[in-house]
Copies of this chain bind each other. A is one copy, B any other.
Amino acid sequence: YQFSLFGLGGSRTYDMDSADSWMAKPITDLEYLKENSQDMKCRVEALIMRIQAEFCHALEKEEQQEGGKKFIVDKWDREQGGGGITCVLQDGTVFEKAGVNVSVVSGFLPPSAMQQMRARGKKLEGDKVKFFAAGVSSVIHPKNPHIPTVHFNYRYFEVESENGEKQWWFGGGTDLTPNFLEEEDVVLFHKALKKACDRHDKQLYPKYKKWCDDYFHVKHRGERRGVGGIFFDDVDEPSADKCFDFVTSCAESVIPSYLPIVQKHKKDTYSYKEREWQLLRRGRYVEFNLIYDRGTKFGLYTPGARFESILMSLPLNARWEYMHKPAPGSREAKLVEVLKNPKDWI
């Protein structure tokens, strides 16, 4: 897989130069992005447009080889400022539901968001706090139960209080949710993420790996959503440039961490029973997203939110059986065991 050689403090216009391949015109006028390529807001918008396009094209290539579907591209505006581009591939041959969403929004923070940010230690003065948020987020639910679901999200936030005080930070992560435990795949996945982190600071991977295990926790079941990955928020050190480079590396590690697993398993045979287990696991995925996920809750409680883009993360099909328990010693039981007791993979 090709990815930017410039991730580590490279060309400032690399992302913008890829504009011909983007899934749609950006939210902000391309000329404006290019003229302001020193502005972090513009740099992030160009980055997420490139990441969206590269990932969609990589997935489409896998899908097309099997005679499947293409992404539909849905560009939308937000009444209060900004908009987004939602790319969805539904009921394909390889992918049951794949969503890759970019959003670039601004305006004033709703009270619920301010409360949540204050609880996280942000100093927000006054009632009217301006914000800018740009991010790319994606959930891929493949058809074959032997291919895991992957999720990633990389985002940049700026807030400005009434007194003019500004703050900015990056957040994000990538995590894997298999239905069956293939250690080799999980190790490959984590190694790709570790490599992306290690280029910047050797302490990042262990810290963000743990944060991921802690965050994706289906508390009522005492199970993690999947086998983890990395997760971070409020990253604003040592400098905006270095944070941007780090997030670029992470976002660029999605394809090399996930596509080899898709390719390896996309022709695996599977039984009705394995499909049923996959649907039950998808039910758990829905539980996490609707009950615990901060982004989903924060999003849906915001008046005028584009709920279709938020709920794009839900699988096409899911199932709930009362008191389903995998047979002791089965592959299903082995997965649940590792979800209850997260481990180090590297």
Contacts and interface: CB of A to CB of B under 8 A. Distances in A.
Interface residues of A, number: 33
- Copies of this protein in the assembly total 2
A171 interface: no
30 contacts: A74-B323, A88-B322, A88-B323, A90-B321, A97-B320, A97-B322, A99-B322, A220-B300, A220-B305, A221-B307, A279-B317, A283-B314, A283-B318, A286-B318, A287-B290, A287-B311, A290-B290, A290-B291, A291-B300, A308-B322, A312-B322, A314-B320, A315-B320, A316-B319, A316-B320, A317-B317, A317-B318, A318-B318, A318-B319, A318-B320
A85 to B, nearest CB: 13
A81 to B, nearest CB: 19
A97 B283 CA distance: 15
Interface in A297-335: 297, 300, 305, 307-308, 310-312, 314-323
Contacts of A322: 86, 88, 90, 97, 99, 308, 312
A86 B220 CA distance: 18
A50 B300 CA distance: 40
A195 to B, nearest CB: 33
A323 B310 CA distance: 11
A287 to B, nearest CB: 7
B317 A311 contact: no
A316 B314 CA distance: 16
A320 to B, nearest CB: 4
A196 B131 CA distance: 52
